[in-house]
A and B are shown apart, each in its own frame.
Chain A
Amino acid sequence: MKNNTGKRLSSGITIFTLVPPFLLALTLIMTANNVHANIAKTHTSCMPHDQPLSYTCKVNLSFQSKPVSNAEMSVSAEMPSMPMAHNMRQIIAMPVADLVGQYEFFLVLEMVGDWRLIYNISSPFIDRLHEPLIIGISEKPKEHKSSHGHTMADHSSVDTADHN
């Protein structure tokens, strides 16, 4: 390899800088394992509102597969493709009467696309759960058919068309 001045760079340096990342990558890929277990999970379904890009969402919160009632939970959303660009105010998710573990909130988004709901739980435990939400041009979000924990690891078992 030659530099601008025509001097030859040491091929040893090039190999030294190139080989470790590839070895690391190979090691990580070869030792990959998938574990499917989560503690806290959310399962969200959103219905479009009269106003454009507005949705009434219902979320079921569970902890170790048991519904969690009286949780203090706020929701925000971000677009993974534009991190830090969308700063939404936190929305309080209110418990739905007579339905243990179910909460409701009103969501107004800025545009169509792939969003990620972020649940900040402050009580009875502190956690942050993430769940993808896809808003199509028809403005009807696709309802998720399975639960989502904060690791999203169980997504691999869900119809990928929901998430891609």
Chain B
Amino acid sequence: MDMYLASVLTNMTLIAFLALSAYLVLVVGEVSFGQQAFFGIGAYITASATALAGAHVFWGLLAGAIGGASCALVLGLLTIRLSGIYFAISTLCFAELLRFFLLHLRFTQSVDGRIIGPDGPEGFSNIRWIFENNYQVTDFLLLAVTCLIILLIVLFSLERSPIMLGARMVGNDPILAQSQGLNPTRYRLSFITLSGAVAGFGGGLFALFNTHIEPAMFGVMLGIHGLAYAVIGGLGSAIGPLLGVFLDIGLLESIRSLAAYRMIIFGGLVALLLVFRPEGIISPRLVSHLKSRWRNRHV
């Protein structure tokens, strides 16, 4: 496979984790502008575990996911009484707080003459896992896609369970959900935590692939992109955010000749979709309609 294509596909797969994490928060009716924080936490923890502590990549990624989930739980608890725009602003503040913290985080070690560890604004370099394990771009793509497929299987299983039904009910109308015996707070906290885990895991993979991470990478732009992919794709299914990623990055790459204007097209695409399909391409209504047609055909 062409290196460029493999690199683009790997980036698409990695950002899909962020889009899916934003999707999980949207399902419970909240908008998060701070998913990049959990992505960054996962990246730094995985990088520290593998490059500094010499842990196996599995434990590194698991630590990244747990780190992301823990911080998301903390944020969820702190913002338990907030919703709507107030919750969105608080997530953005949290993400910026974390970014500023990373700008001041210095913990470097010299290993075989190489500087390893977070070094403030210079970031965390020498995450050499892919070199040490002789991973080519295509090998890493395979690893990332496998992880994404496993995550999708988990999410599809969740979609078929009463948990997701309850979460969607909470997302649509928390008071109605509460009157049906559901605990909106518990659903909200669970999904925010899960979204942190997904973002943290994706961040870990990103750190391993990129070999260098720095606080500037986890700025608001990344969070906006992740959220936009989930909104473009739609909240009807976990496939929605993936569609958003593949449509947007695929489209952007196909119009590479337009250089910087590509970002204007990206903004225009989001605006148009919000006008004509406010619930995204794969909206809950579309999924419900397709499901009923499927049932009618097979009954």
Contacts and interface: CB of A to CB of B under 8 A. Distances in A.
Interface of A: 1-5, 7, 9, 13-14, 17-18, 20-21, 25, 28-29, 31-39, 53, 64, 80-85, 87, 89-90, 110-111, 114, 116, 118, 126-128, 130, 149-153, 155-156, 163-164
17 contacts: A3-B81, A17-B77, A25-B101, A35-B110, A38-B113, A38-B115, A81-B221, A83-B210, A84-B12, A84-B15, A87-B253, A110-B262, A111-B263, A130-B212, A151-B122, A152-B119, A153-B122
A17 B262 CA distance: 42
A151 B119 contact: yes
A83 B206 contact: yes
A34 B178 contact: no
B164 interface: no
Contacts of B20: none
Contact of B108 (A110, A111, A153): A153
Contacts of A2: 80-81
A84 B211 CA distance: 13
Contacts of B8: 87
Contacts of B73: 17
B106 A83 contact: no
Contact of B80 (A3, A21, A89): A3
A149 B108 CA distance: 14
Interface of B: 3-4, 7-8, 11-12, 14-15, 70-71, 73-74, 77, 80-81, 101, 104-110, 112-116, 118-123, 125-126, 131, 174, 178, 183-185, 206, 210-212, 214, 216-217, 219, 221-222, 225, 249, 252-253, 259-260, 262-263
Contact of A28 (B107, B126, B259): B107
A85 B252 contact: yes
B248 to A, nearest CB: 9
A25 B67 CA distance: 13
A149 B11 contact: no
Contact of A151 (B4, B107, B115): B115
A14 B70 CA distance: 11
A9 B77 contact: yes
B259 A111 contact: yes
Contacts of B14: 84
Contacts of B107: 28-29, 31-33
A37 B119 CA distance: 13
Given A3-B81, A18-B74, A83-B217, 10 more contacts: A4-B174, A17-B73, A32-B107, A33-B108, A35-B110, A37-B114, A37-B115, A130-B212, A150-B125, A151-B114
Contacts of A116: 212
Contacts of A151: 108, 114-116, 119, 122, 125-126
A130 B125 contact: yes
Contacts of B183: 5
Given A4-B81, A126-B131, A84 B114 contact: no
A9 B77 CA distance: 9
A26 to B, nearest CB: 11
B169 to A, nearest CB: 14
Contacts of A20: 70
Nearest to B183: A5
Contacts of B15: 84
A163 B114 CA distance: 21
Nearest to A113: B260
B252 A152 contact: no
Given A4-B185, A80-B214, A130-B212, A35 B108 contact: yes
Given A3-B80, A28-B105, A81 B126 contact: no
